[in-house]
Amino acid sequence: MKNLMGIIKANWNDPVWSKVFAAVILAVCGSVLTALYAIFLNLYSQIPFKDTFYAVLQYLNGNLLVPRWLCLVLLIIYIILIYKYISNLFCKY
């Protein structure tokens, strides 16, 4: 854990990694807020948590203007391009 915190502190002011950290923070906060919203609907209007959560997931998995296969291909290309940098970041020899 200390190693991870050291990596975060070392790269916090980097122009690229700061945006990666911001995206992770937003994703975690969005997930927490979605769960809280589902719990609130469950308590307030007696809608089951499972139904609310599935409705949110269905909305997020709805129609996209960009085909999903293209997003997957771009993600794979991105991972291939940054693999060397990430492996050097976590595996210092």
Give the N- to C-terminal CA distance of the chain in Å, as an integer. Answer: 19
The three-state secondary structure class of 63 is coil
The answer to which of 19-23, 27-31, 89-93 has the lowest mean pLDDT is 89-93
Q: What is the CA radius of gyration of the chain?
A: 18
| Mean pLDDT, residues 5-12 taken together | 80
pLDDT-derived band of residue 50, with 50, 70 and 90 as boundaries?
Answer: confident
Q: 65: exposed, middle or buried (C-beta count within 10 Å: 0-12, 13-18, 19+)?
A: exposed
Say whether pLDDT at 27 is over 70: yes
Residue with tokens 């991105």: 78
Say whether pLDDT at 3 is over 70: yes
Number of neighbours of residue 17 by Cβ within 10 angstroms: 15
pLDDT-derived band of residue 34, with 50, 70 and 90 as boundaries?
Answer: confident
